Structure 1
């Protein structure tokens, strides 16, 4: 991922814009070791929204998440890859906008699996995805797909000092 091409200060109380490095550094230090819940928002084929919690991690400046191929989320992404991902980090609420890309490259799968294992999920690469002794009951049967979020925009609202709110736009 590159640095943002544009930062917009959304704060209405006189705080300066938040640096992207704050969000990036929190993601790098808090995933996968902290107990964080990420929520992916997708759109059903009939236009209705869908949101679900996922296990997501930040690896090499990229956000990744997993989903069972039969889940509503995966079926929605197959039809329309546009999505949002939201998380509350320590001191910063963060929402991403972009497109999810299914990742099947063995080297990337293994690199991301290694980071998942560091965080306590014993993921093993198999069948173009992951398997493990345990997974969320809503994930369906393995193998579970890996997705990379191709980021177009992120919005951060600081809930700890230094306060502020910013939008970061990324060129694609």
Structure 2
């Protein structure tokens, strides 16, 4: 289990710190079954930011997302794996910071593809990535690469009771 090394309560109105389990459990239950858009923020080689919406899922206690190998996002991650991923979950806005690295292990690709299929995207494993009958037009031709986010820090802002704002640190 990915557990934070430290939690900091950022709420200025007196609410208690939010437990990471709230965010983790929502990620596990809402992906891939609910229509969520995650936004991945990367950095271009010249330092300018780039953001794009992706479909992401929580598998094996980590966030995974797909990108075409020729996309700006994939090229940025190849040069600098540091990124952010943000999403609005039911009652909780979450922003995660960390590093995204390509996953090519067949057993992981098989597990993640199965979860994507549960959510309605007919992903199959091919040539170290995914292929399917449909994908975002901007992704380019398959196979599409799978990335796993290694969490360094995350922020949660609760927009439903119990309210609160917290930061979770996963690295010392």
Q: Same fold (TM over 0.5)?
A: yes
Count of paired positions: 172
Shift of 1:171: 2.2
1:45-56 correspondence runs (5 A): 45-56=45-56
Structure 1 counterpart of 2:2: 2
1:66-85 correspondence runs (5 A): 66-85=66-85
> Using the alignment, how far apart are the partners of 1:39 and 1:128 within structure 2?
24
Q: In angstroms, what is the RMSD of aligned CA positions?
A: 0.8
> Using the alignment, how far apart are the partners of 1:69 and 1:166 within structure 2?
34
Structure 1: stretches of 5+ with no match in the other structure: none
Shift of 1:2: 2.2
TM-score where L is the length of structure 2: 0.99
Structure 2 counterpart of 1:31: 31
SS at structure 2 position matched to 1:41: strand
> Using the alignment, how far apart are the partners of 1:150 and 1:83 within structure 2?
10
> Using the alignment, how far apart are the partners of 1:125 and 1:60 within structure 2?
17
Q: Is the 8 A contact 2:23 2:92 kept in 1?
A: yes
Structure 2 counterpart of 1:107: 107
Structure 2: stretches of 5+ with no match in the other structure: none
> Using the alignment, how far apart are the partners of 2:143 and 2:25 within structure 1?
31
Structure 1 counterpart of 2:65: 65
> Using the alignment, how far apart are the partners of 2:28 and 2:81 within structure 1?
24
Q: Deviations over 1:99-142 (max 9, x none)?
A: 00100000000000000000000000001000000001111110
> Using the alignment, how far apart are the partners of 1:127 and 1:42 within structure 2?
25
